[in-house]
Each structure stands twice: as structure tokens, then as C-alpha cells.
Amino acid sequence: MSVTTRRLQSCAAAALVAGLALGTAACSKKDTPSASGTTTIVLQIFGTSGLDKAAAKFNETHTNIKIDPQAQGELKDFSPKLAQWLATGQGAGDIVMLEEGQIQQYLEQPKDFANLLDLGAKNLESTFLPYKWKGGFSSDQSKLVGLGTDIGGLAMCYRKDLFEKAFGAENATREKVSAMWATGGWDAYAAKGKEFKAKNVGATWIDSATSIVQPYIMQNSDTWFYSRDNKFIGDSNPVVKKAWDYGLSLATDGLTSKLARWSPDWDNAYKQAAFATVPCPAWMTGVISARAGADAKGKWEVATIPGGSGNWGGSYLAIPKQSKHQKEAFEALKWLTGEEGAVEAYKAAGPMPSSIPALNNPAFKDSKNEYFNNAPTGEIFGASVKTLKPIYLGPKHQPLWENIFEPQMQAAEQGKSTSAAAWQKAVDDGKKLANG
């Protein structure tokens, strides 16, 4: 998942301030059972996953195992640290969170992770969505690296108050907004954005051109930067270029705020009600509420997304081989990814469970999000994945997007480069990374 910056645990923060390369190693040092017989399991997480709240619930009802959740900031902060800890054999927690793009590199080379099948996961297959279960296996299918926490069923989150100013209160309900692009898809979304712009309500239509790319590709392709035999196709997959061109066309038409997502300016823009819509996987509800704050409660709403379906994001939990408490770590991991843990995480931060029992639990299925004007989020996000077909990402997907294609697209959006030049640089750099 991607996601909100949270305060690091005091030990990790102190180590980072000191500039130590393996700063958080001391924080994730493996504990031996205490005199009371309790084993502490370090859980390293990023963003607004709700797993910290789920861990607190676990600790209320378990005495032999205690989960110590340690927030590692954003995915972009955590990913390189984890890679370093795995390479050096120290510093990784007993359980680590892996985003769906990030896990791909470890599925190709899973040597640094325990095989969850050996720890007791063999009988859990029927409790997970089939594609999520399969998504945790190494490329040779010999090792189960991770169990799924959540999936990113898609919707469109929007500022109800801004829609009321632009289109009238009667046209700002989730039903009316969903109908605005029910048949016309993304073309209708852009057309409605132009109408919104003409109303001059003091906000743009969407935060960034790059926000469109992931949902657009997830809806319209079964691959992204890689073919299924792991050849780079970022330059030849037509859907990737269409998503790029579509997003930048919104910027050219003055419909975007030209913000770099996950930046301080982006965070502040939520507080300022600077844009009216944002493509919204289930986990994004927690991101929005954390950034927009209490003053915006009830001003956000949830509608269906253009294209009607799709998935964006979702994560897994895995156990590094360096953990000295793999048995206890698996018991904690199993609970966190099972019905109880998934429901607790959803109630805390909004990520949509990949656990089938959790999806069928009324706490998800019948849920309404008070912050989002009591939108029936369980129903909306649940419906969004009914026709979901998983997309193949490939081994270096996350750095290809996060470090190459997204920054180049932002450069074009902000006028620092032309679309053609930025695309060519992204393709050239992408080939080097993918083939290196």
C-alpha cells in the first residue's frame, strides 16, 4: 500500500538522526522470551495500514506473544532500508510489510525470507482471495513468501462541498456523481473536469496527472512494465503510453494541481481543499482522512470510479529468515492477515481485506465510513473487485514506477520537460534498470 508518513519509534528516529546506515537494527533486535514467557515480535510497517491498531488488539488477547509495531514512514522510505537490512543480515523485523509492487523483487529471489508453508500456512489457501494467495509465491512456486493483508479495490473520492459549489447540491450525491462517468468512462471524467474548472470554485479537478496512471493501467491491461516472461515492455505496452498521455492531457487542460504525490505540498493541499477528486483505492480513505483532518470530516464522499473496476495496491506480510522467532512471528502474522486482524485494520484505516472471512464479515461488508459522509464503503469497494483480473507487475516494478516513470511524468506536468522528452528519458532509464 502506499501511504501516510507516521512517527518512527524513538529508537529508529534517534538512529536516523545520527545518520547510521543500519540505524533501526537495534530497534528490531530479536528478543528472547522474557521471564513471563512472552516473546516480542517486531512488526515493521509503512503508511496508514491499520496494522498498528490490529497489533494492539492482538496484544490485548494474547499473553505469550507481543507484537511491537514499528512505523517506517512511507513505502519509498522503507523499501531501500529493508533491502539493505536483508543484504546485511541484520535490522529487519520479525515480520515485514511488503507492498504488491515491492514484493516482486523478492519473489524472484526469495532466499532472505522464511517459507510460510513450512511454518503452517498450507491450510490457509481457502481463506484468501485466490489471486492474492497466488501472489505471495516465489516465481518458481516453491516458497510462500507472504500472506496478503489487503487489496486496493477502486473508487473515486471527491469533495462533496466543492461539487455542490460547482454543480449544485442535488448533483453532488454519490449516486449522481457516479452517474457522471458511468457510461463515458475516463473521457466523461475529463469532460466533467472541464465543466468544474469553468465554475471557478477555487480548486482544481484532481491532484496530479500521475494519480490517473495506476487505475487506468490496472483497468485496461494485464501487464505493465513487464511481459509475463519478464521482458521490459514499458516502451511497447500501448496502455502505459495511453495512461501517460491521458494524465498529461488533464494537466494541459488545467485540471490538475501539478502536485508530487506523497510530498509535503500534497499533504497540505488536502487541508486546503485544493482539488476536488482523487482516484481512491480502499486504503486511500485512511490517507485522505489523516491529511485532510477533522475539519474536512463529512466533506469527502466516495463514488464509483470511471471504468467501474480495478485494483491499486495492497500488501503482504512476510518473515525474514534472520528472525530468531519465526514460529511466534507466524502466529502473529496469521492473526494479522486473518479475519480478526484484517477487520481491525479496516476499521482503523480503511484497507480492504484480502481475507475471505473478513470480506464476508458485517464489519466490512455492511460498513459505512463516517468521515466520508457515511459512504457505504464496504458495498462500494466490495463491488469494485467483483470482476477484478490481477495484473502482472514483474520483478522491478516498484523502482521503475516510483524512481523513473512517475518523476519523469511529474517533470512534464510541471513544465520542467516536454512530454516527449520525459517519456523518452523514462523509457531509456527504464530499460537500463530492467535489464541491468
What is the torsional sign of CA 296, 302, 307, 310?
positive
- 94 and 394 in contact (C-beta within 8 Å)? no
How confident is the model over 255-267, as a mean pLDDT? 96
- Region 107-111: mean pLDDT is 96
For residue 187, which phi and psi values (nearest 5 degrees)? -65, -40
Q: Where are the beta strands (DSSP E) in 118-224?
A: 146-148, 150-151, 154-159, 204-206
Report the pLDDT averaged over residues 107-132.
96
**Residue 403 confidence (pLDDT) above 90:** yes
pLDDT digits (tens, 9 = 90+) for 319-356: 999 999 999 999 999 999 999 999 999 999 999 999 99
Q: CA 415 → CA 251, 252, 264, 421, distances in Å?
A: 10, 10, 20, 11
Nearest to 151 by CA among 373, 337, 410: 337
Q: How confident is the model at residue 414, as a pLDDT?
A: 97
**What pairs with residue 155 in β-bridges?**
280
Reference 214, options 100, 372, 354, 135; nearest CA is 100
Q: State pLDDT tens for residues 267-312.
A: 999 999 999 999 999 999 999 999 999 999 999 999 999 987 788 9
Q: Among residues 347, 297, 315, 296, which one has the least CA distance to residue 3? A: 315
1-5, 12-16, 28-32, 235-239 — which one is most confidently predicted on average? 235-239
Domains of the chain: 10-151+313-360 (3.40.190.10), 154-309+389-435 (3.40.190.10)
Split at pLDDT 50, 70, 90, the class of 6 is very low
Q: Cell numbers of 250, please? A: 488533464
Q: What is the pLDDT of residues 163-216, one digit of tens each?
A: 999 999 999 999 999 999 999 999 999 999 999 999 999 999 999 999 999 999
Cα angle 242, 4, 357 (rounded to 5 degrees) comes to: 85
Distance between CA atoms of 390 and 168, rounded to whole angstroms?
A: 38
- State the average pLDDT over residues 251-273: 97
| pLDDT, position 5 | 34
Helix (H, G, I), strand (E, B) or coil at 124: helix
Q: How many helices (H) and strands (E) does the chain have?
A: 21, 11
pLDDT of residue 227: 97
pLDDT band at 384 (very low <50, low <70, confident <90, very high): confident
Helix (H, G, I), strand (E, B) or coil at 31: coil
pLDDT for position 36: 62
pLDDT of residue 309: 78
Q: What is the mean pLDDT of the chain?
A: 92
The answer to whether the pTM exceeds 0.85 is yes
